[in-house]
Amino acid sequence: MVPLDLLDFYRSSVLLGLIPWRGVVIGVALVCASAMVVPPLISNIELLCTLWFLLLAIPIILEWVNTRDFLTRTALIRQSGLLGGKRLVVPLGQIDRVEFSFPRFGQSRDVGDIHVHYGVHFFILQGIAHPARKAQQILDAKGRLLATPAEGRDA
């Protein structure tokens, strides 16, 4: 089975509001650790600031780049993180409703967010290209899953 990649490389236009906290924490820890070791070795303040900026930025970028959302035959999956990655699996049968919205300037580029509600929980797929079509694909996959006999479903 080949999962449908919902990323479509359009995320950067509306993803500035999403903060990868693990990357921020790792970056700050690297900067703090290097602040104790590196300053005696480097006397150029511009070089030192550049090094600290890179130590802060690289973990954040790696965390952001390594977030993927997949729609399979039986579940909607969010996989994130490079170090100690997290995985959220929502079975399609548990999804109550799927909505989409457009952030500022997103509608002109047809890039928006998909809100997936399941039980009392929800999560947001941010920066999705063609969110109306992708939301309908999620609902169609749920309909196909519910239409198949129980013995034909994967766990």
Q: Do 134 and 128 form a contact (C-beta atoms < 8 A)?
A: yes
**What's the pLDDT band for 17 if we cut at 50, 70, 90?**
very low
pLDDT over threshold 60, residue 27: yes
Domains of the chain: 4-15+67-152 (2.30.29.30), 21-63 (no CATH)
Summarize pLDDT for 51-107 with one digit per residue, the tens: 888 888 888 787 777 778 888 999 998 887 776 577 889 999 999 999 999 887 778
- Residue 96 dihedral angles phi and psi, to the nearest 5°: -85, -45
pTM: 0.63
Q: Do 74 and 143 form a contact (C-beta atoms < 8 A)?
A: no
Answer with the residue of higher pLDDT: 71 or 2: 71
Residues paired with residue 53 on neighbouring β-strands, in sequence order: none
The stretch 104-111 carries a mean pLDDT of: 83
Q: Do 67 and 80 form a contact (C-beta atoms < 8 A)?
A: yes
Residues paired with residue 118 on neighbouring β-strands, in sequence order: 95, 121
Q: Which amino acid is at 24?
A: V
Residues paired with residue 79 on neighbouring β-strands, in sequence order: 68, 87
For residue 146, the 8-state DSSP code is: H
* 21's tokens: 């906290």
Query: CB-hemisphere CA count at 13 Å for 150?
Result: 0
* 144's tokens: 């196909």
Q: Which amino acid is at 114?
A: I
Measured CA distances, 9 to 14, 21, 69, 122 (Å): 11, 21, 12, 23
Summarize pLDDT for 31-62 with one digit per residue, the tens: 777 777 766 666 777 787 888 888 888 887 87
